[in-house]
A and B are shown apart, each in its own frame.
Chain A
């Protein structure tokens, strides 16, 4: 399916002003807005390893530096390593009792890198875990990290003291009585408690040296063998060592993957929420625009010439379980409405909601950016609208040619089958276009969206809304003028 919806030929304008194909959009059914990956809140739901599918709590993952402790990756091409069994001849072949030993080594099936390449000893069968490659600077790095933690704490303390001085009039119980915890401790004859983190440490700062450790002379005299030098990717994959030669490569632990849920920015409802288990590929909530918004596909377009009315056939598909009515409106139609909307927002609304919610709202209302598409053609706006019946999966395979009784304008609707209709629009490329330039057509599509939120018992009829969005079609290049 990706080859149908993936090319950026038909693009929908998201609320934030970005243009995306329908497969990349979400539809928040609570505030009836299109949302793209750029304007939703991303939240980490669960962390897991993509190879062994182990689910890790976030604290444990943090301790393990977001890496799986069991799975290893090839340091050469970053694919997963698999273990291979091999037999090794006994150490002293003269001994008749010695049997060949079974060993395991790791091998990359993509680039055929093995642990033997860098001299990592083979493991005996039954033993689990490979030796960790220790960084020689671990102690120094830990000391520096501790030092910075202390600095952070110190700064916090200072800030707190500053705040205390400013808050003269608010008195706590301890201040009123003049008995603080440390005074109390002294009176009781106990030693003063000290925060171990606040103690000064004896971290020696690094000393810059004038001499270059590695002599670079050989680089100038001997020819470079590219196969022996690591690539930037390989070096960055091992940030602790950053080896320059391939014989220093060492297996890396696999980075954990994340399952994330996406939240609408303005109403905080989820637009996508996967099931927690890493084994599952299902979603609890999936409000993809593909299931709610009518899809538009370009069927054909006549060669585009300036000053000529070219026929454009587009197919409209209703993906929902409810009948909908589609109306094509000019592009400017939505601009006018949006300007009114922003005016309303600018006026201070009467405060009924809790303050926190309002603060949140005001911090999240963002003005959409300018839509980055140069419209190069006028589109004839049809006067009538098109009714599309609900999607019926069974009808897809029904070839009996059922007749639908819709009062269609024969000039507009060319073809109709179940929940699909092909309509004809006329486009006229503008005068100021140059030969070979890409022609973009735009219009506003209004469709009737039937709310799928469970309604209360009082009004059983599902609510219907008119939802409008801007559509941009890339029609191809200009071939000439009339």
Chain B
């Protein structure tokens, strides 16, 4: 699985060059991948939805638990997810509109639905399904339910789309046939 494969980048996505990517990875349209992040598809392919932001030092690792025996499992990540600086996410199923705040850790037994926020420094390792709009926060990883899903950060994305190509190498997206 560790064979060098070039990631599949949909048109409109912005993927910086200086990052570590292993395995079969697909980025949806309008995704933004900052430099120096790690995306590793160890157990099977990773598929990102549209308009995801992956910031510096973020680690997204597809490593299923040893007791899972399904063949070639796929890691699905929905749309509008934000992976902030130095977060580690191993959850194999992630819905839409989630935010992973800096230095949080989400283990590979966790399933994330929609509109969840994993607070800075929070650690989730036990087998669980986070219900919709769950917010995990604080040193005690307390959970609460929010009223709405977090708003997509369109302003930020516009700025990044404009600025990142000026200062970084960019991986070329695949031309659609």
Number of interchain pairs (Cβ within 8 Å)? 33
For chain B residues 138-176, which have a beta carbon within 8 Å of chain A? 138, 142-148, 150
* CB atoms of B138 and A112 under 8 A apart: no
In the assembled complex, which residues on chain B have CB atoms less than 8 Å from the CB atom of A227?
A: 134, 143-145
Given A110-B119, A111-B119, A112-B117; A77-B147 close (CB under 8 Å): no
B93 at interface (Cβ–Cβ under 8 A)?
Answer: no
B137 at interface (Cβ–Cβ under 8 A)?
Answer: yes
Interface residues of B, count at CB 8 A: 14
CB A103 to nearest CB in B, in angstroms, measures 15
* CB atoms of B137 and A111 under 8 A apart: yes
* CB atoms of B142 and A112 under 8 A apart: no
A116 at interface (Cβ–Cβ under 8 A)?
Answer: yes
A80 at interface (Cβ–Cβ under 8 A)?
Answer: no
Contact with B along A52-76 (1 / 0, CB 8 A): 0000000000000000000000001
A114 at interface (Cβ–Cβ under 8 A)?
Answer: yes
Interface of B is mostly: strand
Interface size class of A (residues with CB under 8 A): 10 to 19
B135 at interface (Cβ–Cβ under 8 A)?
Answer: yes
Question: Which of B142, B143, B145, B147 sits near A116, CB closer than 8 Å?
Answer: B147
In the assembled complex, which residues on chain A have CB atoms less than 8 Å from the CB atom of B135?
A: 111-112
CB A360 to nearest CB in B, in angstroms, measures 45
* CB atoms of B146 and A117 under 8 A apart: yes
In whole angstroms, what is the CA distance A479 to B150 when docked? 56
Q: Closest B-chain residue to A86, C-beta based?
A: B151
In the assembled complex, which residues on chain B have CB atoms less than 8 Å from the CB atom of A117?
A: 146-147
In the assembled complex, which residues on chain B have CB atoms less than 8 Å from the CB atom of A231?
A: 142
In the assembled complex, which residues on chain A have CB atoms less than 8 Å from the CB atom of B134?
A: 227
In whole angstroms, what is the CA distance A297 to B113 when docked? 52
A276 at interface (Cβ–Cβ under 8 A)?
Answer: no
Q: Closest A-chain residue to B150, C-beta based?
A: A112
In whole angstroms, what is the CA distance A113 to B147 when docked? 9
Contacts A/B (CB < 8 Å), 12 sampled:
A76-B144, A77-B142, A110-B137, A111-B137, A111-B142, A112-B135, A113-B144, A116-B147, A117-B146, A227-B145, A246-B144, A246-B145
Q: A112-B117, A227-B145 are in contact. List 14 more A-B contacts (CB 8 A).
A: A110-B137, A110-B138, A111-B119, A112-B135, A112-B137, A112-B146, A112-B150, A116-B147, A117-B146, A117-B147, A226-B143, A227-B144, A231-B142, A246-B144
Question: What residues make up the interface of B, taking CB atoms closer than 8 Å to A?
Answer: 117, 119, 134-135, 137-138, 142-148, 150
Instruction: Give 3 closest A-B pairs by Cβ, nearest first.
Output: A111-B137, A227-B145, A117-B147
Question: What residues make up the interface of A, taking CB atoms closer than 8 Å to B?
Answer: 76-77, 110-114, 116-117, 226-228, 231, 246
